[in-house]
Amino acid sequence: MKHYTFINGSVTSPLGFTANGVIAGVKPQNTTKRDLAMIVCEKPCAAAAIFTKNRVRSDTIAVTQQHLQNGTAQAVIVNSGNANACNPDGREKAERMCALAAEALGISADDVIVASTGVIGQVLPIEPIEKGVSALKHILSADGGTNAAEAIMTTDTVKKEWALQLTLGGKTVTIGGIAKGSGMIHINMGTTLSFVTTDAAISAAMLHEALVEAADVSYNMVSVDGDTSTNDMLAVMASGLAGNEEITEKNADYALFLEALTASFRSVAKKLAADGEGATKLVICRVSGAADLQAARTVAKSVVCSSLVKAAMFGADANCGRILCAVGYSGAEVDVQKIDVSYRSAKGEILVCRNGMGLAFDEVHAKEILLEKEIDILIRLGDGEAEAEAYGCDLTYDYVKINGDYRT
């Protein structure tokens, strides 16, 4: 039974939050797209974040980590068009962005989360951001979440925003958020860039625990192209304005909050994978019968990461050999003579492998199944009871085209 309901909304749906996005002109050749956003709460929030494990990192990561050491934040400032990574003045620019936001909002710079996304290794121009912040402070609103979602997009083709509600202690609690991500996605911590808000009363320690638990089975199971970004950040702020009794331990209310947070993250994980650069299909690998959870996750992620599997999905080729190959090199301990593989979509389901051996099957029906926009690869291992799912997409000609001229 679900204890939450998705609603129409965004990062400003929880009580206390406003946001917006503007055309600042971070990329001089692009003056028609929003590229600077702020998210603000009317009061200091419990806050937590998780970050990329790439050793090459944007300086925005270090600044945000420092600011969140006390478990408190009140605002987010984020630009697209430039990653502010691998720059000699990256730290200075990240701190300047925080100072600009703090001055405009009348808060401490230490309470600002800063993030950037875009081209790596190019100096971030600060002048457009200075002008953009001045414009933003006058238009922050409860209706500005969608504009903020647009402002953090790079090669994304659709905005990614969401909201849901649940009840904690008789109080209605809302969780909302925005995310960006289309390429350079092989998430290894939390996500590309994602900013989550809630009006739940929850301690910073428990917020961090929930963030890690929810991300492990959602964001961290997404791969578009095998590349982990230098800028990955998943940050959450909790205003406490819903009025529920504060969650300070892993009790029943924590479990309900975690359930809702995980559901919201899984919905976004699918959006990120479906919007992979050049992608035409969402591919979900669902593994069951694994010896343990780690084996299930390892197998599922290995399959969605396989370039050959991704290419086969693009061509609607029901080649089970590519699936078995990805399972075999995943590193998980599996009995290869127990593996079953099926493909499933809105057009039906077809078994193509039993006990590790390919089967004769209706190729025409298989192609019909694989021509759909959302495809499940079902793998049954026969080694235990654990299960997991991972999210990916097909590999198309357009992926190479997009990334062949990304800077231009």
- Say how many Å lie between the first and final Cα of the chain, rounded: 49
- Which of 191, 197, 230, 298 is labelled catalytic? 191
Given 235, 250, 274, the domain boundary residue is 274
191 labelled catalytic: yes
- Report which of 177, 279, 301, 274 is spatially closest to residue 233, judged by C-alpha positions: 177
pLDDT band with cut points at 50, 70 and 90 for residue 407: low
Tell me the per-residue pLDDT of 140-174, one tens digit each, with 9 for 90 and over: 999 999 999 999 988 777 889 999 999 999 999 99
Mean pLDDT of the chain: 92
Rounded to 5°, the CA angle 399-177-304 comes to 35
Q: Are residues 77 and 41 in the same domain?
A: yes
Question: Could you tell me the residue range of the domain that residue 310 belongs to?
Answer: 282-404
Q: Above 60 in pLDDT, residue 277?
A: yes
Which region among 266-275, 288-297, 317-326, 394-403 has the lowest average model confidence (pLDDT)? Answer: 394-403
Q: Pairing state of beta strands 282-290 and 374-380?
A: parallel
Q: Are residues 158 and 198 in the same domain?
A: yes
Q: Are residues 188 and 286 in the same domain?
A: no
Helix (H, G, I), strand (E, B) or coil at 291: coil
pLDDT band with cut points at 50, 70 and 90 for residue 52: confident
Structure tokens at 1: 């039974």
pTM above 0.85, yes or no: yes
How far is 298 from 303, CA to CA, in rounded Å? 9
Given 274, 304, 320, the domain boundary residue is 274
Tell me the per-residue pLDDT of 291-332, one tens digit each, with 9 for 90 and over: 999 999 999 999 999 999 999 999 999 999 999 999 999 999
Q: Are residues 227 and 340 in the same domain?
A: no
> What does each C-alpha distance from 302 to 182, 285, 339, 368 come to in angstroms?
19, 9, 15, 25
Structure tokens at 391: 């999210």
Among left, alpha and beta (phi > 0; psi -120 to 50; other), residue 118 is left
What confidence score (pLDDT) does residue 185 get?
A: 47
The C-alpha torsion from 202 through 203 and 209 to 214, rounded to 10°, is: 20
Tell me the per-residue pLDDT of 119-135, one tens digit each, with 9 for 90 and over: 888 999 999 999 999 99
How far is 370 from 343, CA to CA, in rounded Å? 8
Rounded to 5°, the CA angle 258-261-266 comes to 120
